[in-house]
Amino acid sequence: MTRQILVTSALPYANGHIHLGHLVEYIQTDIFVRFQRLRGHKVAYMCADDTHGTAIMIRAEKEGRQPEQLIAEMSDAHQRDFAAFDISFDHYGSTNSEANRNVAHSIWAKLKERGLVAQRAVPRLFDEQKEMFLADRFVKGMCPKCRAPDQYGDACEACGATYPATELIDPRSIFTDSKPVLKDSQQSFVTLAPLQQTLTAWTQDSGALQEEVANYLKGHFLDKPLQDWDVSRPAPYFGFEIPDQPGNYWYVWFDAPIGYIASTVEWCAKAGGDADDWWRNEDAEVVHFLGKDITYFHTLFWPAMLHAAGYCLPKRVHIHGFLKVNGEKMSKSRGTFVNASRYLDFLEPGWLRYYYASKLGPKIDDLDFQSEEFVGKVNSDLVGRVVNLASRSAKFVQDVGLSETYPEDSGLFRRGAEAGEAIAAAYEACDFREAMRRVMTLADDANEFVERAAPWKLRKDPDKAAELQDCCTVVLNLFHQIMIYLTPVLPELSAKAGALLGSDMDQWSASQEPLSGREVRKFTHMMARVEAAKVEEMFTPEAPEPTSPTIDKEPLADEITIDDFLRVDLRVAEVLEASHVDGADKLLQLTLGLGGDVRRNVFAGIKSVYEPAQLVGKMVLYVANLKPRKMKFGVSEGMVAAAGTDGEIYLMSPDIGAKPGQRLH
RNA sequence: GGGCCCUUAGCUCAAUUGGUUAGAGCCGGCGGCUCAUACCCGCUUGGUUGCAGGUUCGAGUCCUGCAGGGCCUACCA
- Residue ranges of alpha helices (H) inside A189-238 are 196-205, 211-220
Length A365 CA → B6 C1' (Å)? 9
Q: What is the mean pLDDT of residues A424-428?
A: 91
Res A547 pLDDT > 60: no
What pLDDT does residue A325 have? 86
Contact A241, A234 (CB under 8 A): no
What pLDDT does residue A362 have? 85
Question: Strands A181-190, A117-127: parallel, antiparallel or unpaired by DSSP?
Answer: antiparallel
Q: What is the mean pLDDT of residues A598-610?
A: 84
In a domain? residue A325: no
Res A646 pLDDT > 70: no
In a domain? residue A50: yes
What pLDDT does residue A327 have? 78
Res A520 pLDDT > 70: yes
Phi and psi torsions of A331, nearest 5°? -145, 130
Q: Which nucleotide is nearest to A219 (CA to C1')?
A: B3
List C-alpha distances in Å: A261 to A92, A195, A372: 11, 21, 41
Q: Which band of pLDDT confidence, cut at 50, 70 and 90, is reported for residue A553? A: low
Could you tell me if A617 and A492 lie in one domain? no
Burial of residue A92, with CB atoms counted within 10 A of its CB: 0-12 exposed, 13-18 middle, 19 or more buried: buried
Q: Which band of pLDDT confidence, cut at 50, 70 and 90, is reported for residue A39? A: very high
Q: Which band of pLDDT confidence, cut at 50, 70 and 90, is reported for residue A205? A: confident
Cα separation, A584 vs A582, in Å, equals 6
Could you tell me if A460 and A520 lie in one domain? yes
A146 touches strand B (CB under 7 A): yes
What pLDDT does residue A306 have? 94
What pLDDT does residue A158 have? 59
Strand B proximal residues, A:116-145, Cβ < 7 Å = 145
Could you tell me if A111 and A123 lie in one domain? no
Could you tell me if A128 and A239 lie in one domain? no
Q: What is the mean pLDDT of residues A297-323?
A: 91
Q: What is the largest CA-CA distance in chain A?
A: 106
Strand B proximal residues, A:155-174, Cβ < 7 Å = 156, 158-161
Strand B proximal residues, A:255-294, Cβ < 7 Å = 292-293
**Residue that finishes a domain, picked among A163, A190, A217:** A190
User: In the predicted model, what is the mean pLDDT of chain A?
Assistant: 88
What pLDDT does residue A161 have? 61
Question: Strands A229-230, A181-190: parallel, antiparallel or unpaired by DSSP?
Answer: antiparallel
Could you tell me if A106 and A214 lie in one domain? yes
Going edge to edge, which strands form the sheet with A169-173?
A151-152, A139-142, A169-173
Q: A196 pairs with which residues across the strands? A: none
What nucleotides of chain B have any atom within 7 angstroms of a protein Cβ? Answer: 3-5, 11-14, 24-27, 32-37, 39-42, 70-73, 76-77
Question: Strands A169-173, A229-230: parallel, antiparallel or unpaired by DSSP?
Answer: unpaired
What pLDDT does residue A612 have? 79
Instruction: Report the residue count for chain A.
Output: 665
Length A591 CA → B19 C1' (Å)? 65
Structure confidence by residue, pLDDT tens digits, A276-302: 999 999 999 999 999 888 888 899 889
What pLDDT does residue A554 have? 65
What pLDDT does residue A84 have? 97
Could you tell me if A29 and A143 lie in one domain? no
Could you tell me if A110 and A130 lie in one domain? no
Could you tell me if A175 and A84 lie in one domain? no
**Residue that finishes a domain, picked among A267, A301, A320:** A320
The rounded radius of gyration (Å) of the Cα atoms in chain A is 31
Q: Which band of pLDDT confidence, cut at 50, 70 and 90, is reported for residue A543? A: low
Could you tell me if A360 and A459 lie in one domain? yes
Percent share of chain A, pLDDT over 90: 49
Which of A242, A119, A240 is CA-nearest to residue A186? A119
In a domain? residue A125: yes
Q: Which nucleotide is nearest to A376 (CA to C1')?
A: B26
Cα separation, A478 vs A417, in Å, equals 9
Instruction: For residue A626, give the CATH number of its domain.
Output: 2.40.50.140
Contact A299, A345 (CB under 8 A): no
A363 touches strand B (CB under 7 A): yes
Hey, which of A40-49, A133-142, A195-204, A607-616 has the most confident mean pLDDT?
A40-49
In a domain? residue A233: yes
Number of domains in chain A: 4
What pLDDT does residue A1 have? 86
Contact A629, A635 (CB under 8 A): yes
Cα separation, A20 vs A355, in Å, equals 12
In a domain? residue A135: yes
Could you tell me if A179 and A87 lie in one domain? no
Strand B proximal residues, A:496-525, Cβ < 7 Å = 525
Question: Cα dihedral angle (A374, A379, A384, A389), rounded to 10 degrees?
Answer: 90
In a domain? residue A334: no
More confident residue, A138 or A404: A404
Strand B proximal residues, A:436-455, Cβ < 7 Å = 437, 440-441, 444, 447-448, 450-451, 454-455
Q: What is the mean pLDDT of residues A597-605?
A: 88
Least confident of A25-34, A504-513, A621-630: A621-630
More confident residue, A157 or A206: A206
Strand B proximal residues, A:526-565, Cβ < 7 Å = 526-529
Length A483 CA → B21 C1' (Å)? 37
Structure confidence by residue, pLDDT tens digits, A233-263: 888 889 999 998 888 899 988 999 999 999 9
Instruction: For residue A525, give the CATH number of its domain.
Output: 1.10.730.10
**Residue that finishes a domain, picked among A532, A566, A584:** A532
Q: Which nucleotide is nearest to A529 (CA to C1')?
A: B37
Going edge to edge, which strands form the sheet with A132-133?
A132-133, A117-127, A181-190, A229-230
- Residues 6 or more apart from A560 whose CB is under 8 A from it? none
Domain that holds residue A312: 1-115+193-320
Res A212 pLDDT > 90: no
Contact A269, A71 (CB under 8 A): no
Res A457 pLDDT > 80: yes
Length A449 CA → B41 C1' (Å)? 9
Res A61 pLDDT > 60: yes
Which of A290, A240, A234 is CA-nearest to residue A32? A290
A395 touches strand B (CB under 7 A): yes
Could you tell me if A121 and A111 lie in one domain? no
Could you tell me if A431 and A508 lie in one domain? yes
More confident residue, A581 or A620: A620
Q: Is the peptide bond before A246 cis (omega within 30 degrees of 0)?
A: no
Q: Which band of pLDDT confidence, cut at 50, 70 and 90, is reported for residue A218? A: confident
Instruction: For residue A132, give the CATH number of its domain.
Output: 2.170.220.10
Q: What is the mean pLDDT of residues A354-358?
A: 92
Structure confidence by residue, pLDDT tens digits, A459-507: 988 899 999 999 999 999 999 999 999 999 999 999 999 999 999 999 9
Hey, which of A408-417, A574-583, A651-660 has the most confident mean pLDDT?
A408-417
Length A318 CA → B61 C1' (Å)? 26
